Structure 1
Amino acid sequence: MRRRSACLAGLATIVAGPASFSGQVLAQGTPSGTSPPGGASSPAGRLWFDPTQLPSFTGVVDRYLLNPDGKTDRLLFREGPQVIFPDNMAAEMMSAVPVGRSIVVYGIRARRAPVITMLAWAVDGSAPAHFVERPTWTFPVFHAADEALEASGTVRAPLLTAQGDQIGVILDGGVVIRVPLAAATALGDRLAVGKTVAATGRGASLPERGKALDAERIGEAPEKLEPLPAGRPQ
C-alpha cells in the first residue's frame, strides 16, 4: 500500500474516528500524491489538501431528505448512516446517483454518532471526485417554509447535526421532524429509534419527495400532542 500523508492520516484518526459503520459501509484510502482533478482554478484546485485522502464511506442511497425549508441537504444510507452536504449540490448528486445506487462519500464522521460531513463524492471508487466548496460544518439555522403540516410514524433514525447531536427524527417513510437541540434533549428517549412520534408544525412538502417540518407540537400520537418542552439552554 502506498504511504498516505501523515498529517491527513492523523486528522482522519483524530477527527473522523472509525470509518466503518457496517459490513457494506467501508473506508477506502486514497494514495498520497493523487492530485485533485480540475486544476488550480477549480474548487478542488483551490483546496490546500485533497479530501479524497480522508476516509471514504460507500453505501447505497436509501433516500435524499428534505429539510423544513424545502431543500435537500442530506441523504440516508441504506446501511444506516446519514450524510450532510450543502443543498446547492443536491440536484447534481440526485441526477448522478439516484435512490438505490451506491455512492462514495469522502468526509469526516462525528465522534459519537453515524453522521458524515461530506467533503467530496464520487459515483464509484474509480470515478473522479466532485468536491464540496463550502462544507456544512455549522449548526443549522432554522428557516422553515410556511406550509402547515402534520406527520406521524415510527422513528427510523435520529436527525443529527454534523457534530452528532440529535435535533429531531427521520420517520420510516422518510419524513423529517426537526426540533431545537434543547427540546430534543428534554424529549430524550421519546425520540428513540422504534418509538412512534407525531408532530404538527411549519415546513415544506414536495410531490414524490416527502415532507419536513419544524415541530411546534409533538407527542406519541396525533391525539396526544403537546407544545415542545423548553429544555435547558445549550
Structure 2
Amino acid sequence: MAIAASGQAAEAASVVNRWEANTAYKDQFGIGNSHAFALPDLGAGRFVFQDNGVLEEYDDGTARLTGTVVSNQDSNKFWEVDVWFDAASNKVKAKKELKDGAYDSVSEGGGGLDEDNLGWWYYGVDESRSFLTGGGYYEDIVLNIKDGKGYDRGAEVQLGYGASGKNVGMGMAAWIGYDAIHGEEAGVFIANSMRADINVDLIAVPEPASLVGLGLVGLGLYARRKSQGTEDT
C-alpha cells in the first residue's frame, strides 16, 4: 500500500537546519534502551536506523524526519520513515529524562548540562502526513503516526542537548502513537497503539551558526563519554 509523499511544504519552504539522524545510544546518564523507534506492541524488539536518517527544519516552522529503521532482531522487519512535525503549543514543558548526574558540572563527573537553561525547542506531530511504510515482513502495511504521550505537555517532540533522554549529546525525543492501515498481513500486530517513542542523536550538516560554539563543546564531551560507556543495542 503506497502513501503519496507530502513534499509540498518542503518545496515551498527553505531548509534552515539539516541534521544527520542516528539511533540514540545510551550513555551513563541515559535511561531505558538504545533505539531510534520503540514500537513495543509489534513484538519485534527495538528499531534502529539502517543507515543515517535525515531531519530537516524549514523556515515555515515545520520539520521532517526520513530514513529507514530496521528491527534489531530481524532484518526483514523494517519501516520507511516519513514523519512531519509542526509548531508546538505555546504551553510547552520540557520532559527531562536523564539521570540527575547529567545536570552536574563536568568537574564533578556530571554531564555538564544546565538544567535551568537547556535551550531546547519543540514541535507537534503533523498527523495528516506522518507515516511509517512497511517493508519485508511488514510489506503493504502502513502506520499513521499520531499525537502520543507528550500531548499533555503541549508538545510531542523536543530537540536539544540531552533532549533524547538517552545521552547528553544533541538529540530529539518524541512521544507518539499510531493507527495501522492493514494490508494482507492484518493479523501481525495490534491495529493501534499509544505506546511508541522516537529517540535519535542529531549531528548538524553543516553545523548551524547558532550552535557552533556550544556544539564543539557538547559533541566533544558526548563523544568522550560515548567512547567510555557501554552501548545497549
**What TM-score do the two structures reach when normalised by structure 2?**
0.29
Higher alpha-carbon Rg = 1
| Larger RCO (CA under 8 A, 6+ residues apart) | 2
